Structure 1
Amino acid sequence: MLFTLKWLILKIVCCYGSNGSGAEEPVHILAYYASWGPAKSQELEKVLSSIREGRYTRAKEMLFKLRNLDMPLKFEDVCNIAGNGVAPGRVHVARAMIKAGYVDNLRQAFSRYLYDGGPAYATGSEPAGETVVQLICRTGGIAVLAHPWALKNPVPAIKDLKAAGLHGIEAYRSDGKLSGLSDLADTYELLKLGGSDYHGRDDKEEPDIGSVDLPVLAFFKFLEVAQPIWRNAMMENFANTIERIPDLNGSKGCRRTSSGNDFCSMCLSSPELEETDDSQIEILQMVFSDIILSNRSCKTHIEQRAEITSRLH
């Protein structure tokens, strides 16, 4: 049974350095979550906040290097280009360079100054790729390595990330063709996905969003792996929400509910679960269809918790 066809995708920029090499390079890990979001959302948000702060620091470092190259830019202008609440990245610095007349287009900005290791390139506070993969797994997501062919040496990176829990790699290029890393995905039993890698660079050669022709079989293999992981994440969020419902946790009594439908409605009032799909709600209603709480038969919090969690798992 297909639970949902909606999901939330995060791209987390991190770093990878093979053992003993002493060199690190940026890697992009995609986190696929179900529509209701991750489990342990506070843990994920803490890491993402740290990365965002690092991006602000990185942007300032890039501007410092550009100033030394006689191309001064204002940090406020870069932030305005990025937009309200968006941590600025290289593409925003590049757009500011175009606006100031230092370069003609984004391609020129990157090829001359902002490429990895370039004269205006700077690193942020990116976590290790293995750490990010483990975080995604803990929070109920599917971890996928984006455009692995861009790595200097993808083989050890894929091997180490797989050991950390990696679920798949982008094996299909933007033209829908399999990359040379398809066999490596088979070796490590990884899902083969693909994406357009759209960044909004106004580049004629940049593929449009959703332009990748991904085979249907690859899509269903993805869902086969994702559904049980997403379901467990939803159940964990649901159980944690139950703990925070005053009517269930208080000692003065219980709110009267006459069916699993009422029970689900009460629990799903949590902001963490407000995006839960109708199909998932129906499943939960079936799980709790025989739960009836009344003032005459209140159980202690420990008893309630034990009964509910046993049904969830």
Structure 2
Amino acid sequence: MATLNADLHCHSVVSDGTLTPEELAARAKANGVELWALTDHDEIGGQARALAAARANGLQYLTGVEISVTFANETVHIVGLGFDADDPRMLEGLEATRGGRGGRAREMASQLAAVGIPGAYEGALKYAGNPELISRTHFARFLVEVGACRDTAEVFRKFLTEGKPGYVPHRWASLKDAVQWISRSGGVAVIAHPARYKFTANEEYALFSEFKAHGGRGVEVVTGSHTAAEAVRYAGTAREFGLAASRGSDFHSPGESHTDLGQLPYLPDALTPVWHLLADRIR
């Protein structure tokens, strides 16, 4: 049913969140979440803990991950839900896509040092629960700590984005690879927060067309970064492409995320909720 309080997109300290899987499960339960998934970036090392914590809190659970993909020179995120977290194809694929983060992080630090902010790599590393997944979010927290910016929103206005100091692009997995890792391990692939990408209408149509052709089956319609109008727009896209609809806060941290776990509007009617495709995978 569309009125299920499902939150199928959030992050823990295993990637770039600030809470443990156990703390997230307790927060989800307190906020009325009924079906939960932990979707760390390019990493499924927190899945066993998340499942155990979900069970301890009486939450239904789906395995989750958010895979970084390069499409039309833009980084796109593909959420995987309900897959087998022990599938070797998934594990090997994620290990390969994580591989470039270390070198990229050192290059980001060197650009920041050149504009008078030394020690950024070591500083960001303090915030990374998993050094393999050091990311722009960890650098942003360091820049706030040293007073270079007031908050992480200001960081992303002044640094770490294209054309600004500290921006280093990274080539991630291909769209085809990510969708197939998910589907071949028994899960459903979902395009995350589509309104965030800076695509032309033609590029967006190509993204959805190729995603569907590779076996993708869902799109986030209601998510922390979508306005009400964007939710209506992508409900239409879901119907146009015959995709199921997903719902997730993209929660990272109590101090940073403007949408808390479980605090989203419900999915619009007349859509197929993604959890209907995964009824036999819910644990």
Using the size of structure 1 for normalisation, the TM-score is 0.63
Match of 1:12 in 2: 67
More RCO (CA 8 Å, sep 6+): 2
Match of 1:32 in 2: 81
2:99 matches 1:53: yes
Would you say the 8 A contact 2:251–2:260 is kept in 1? yes
Match of 2:134 in 1: 88
Alignment partner of 1:114 out of 144, 160, 184: 160
Alignment partner of 2:206 out of 156, 161, 171: 156
Deviation (angstroms), 1:137:
0.8
Change (3 A) 1:218 1:66: farther
SS across alignment from 2:64: strand
- Where structure 2 has 5 or more consecutive residues not aligned to the other structure, the ranges are 1-58
Q: How does 1:151-300 map to 2 (within 5 A)?
A: 151-153=197-199, 154-174=204-224, 177=228, 178-200=231-253, 202-203=255-256, 206-215=258-267, 221-227=273-279, 230=281
Deviation (angstroms), 1:5:
3.5
Change (3 A) 1:54 1:222: same
Letter of the structure 2 residue corresponding to residue 25 of structure 1 = E
2-side partners of 1:136 and 1:78: how far apart? 30
Give the share of equivalent positions with the same residue, in percent: 25
1-side partners of 2:142 and 2:81: how far apart? 31
Higher helix share goes to which structure? 1
Letter of the structure 1 residue corresponding to residue 192 of structure 2 = A
Would you say the 8 A contact 1:73–1:97 is kept in 2? no
Change (3 A) 1:198 1:209: same
Change (3 A) 1:217 1:179: closer
2-side partners of 1:223 and 1:151: how far apart? 25
Larger radius of gyration: 1
- Where structure 1 has 5 or more consecutive residues not aligned to the other structure, the ranges are 18-23, 232-276, 278-313
Letter of the structure 1 residue corresponding to residue 61 of structure 2 = K
2:146 matches 1:100: yes
Listed one character per residue, the Cα deviations across residues 93-116 of structure 1 (whole Å, up to 9, x for unaligned) are 011112222222111111111224
Deviation (angstroms), 1:75:
2.1
Listed one character per residue, the Cα deviations across residues 117-139 of structure 1 (whole Å, up to 9, x for unaligned) are 53321123411122201211111
Using the size of structure 2 for normalisation, the TM-score is 0.69
1-side partners of 2:94 and 2:270: how far apart? 29
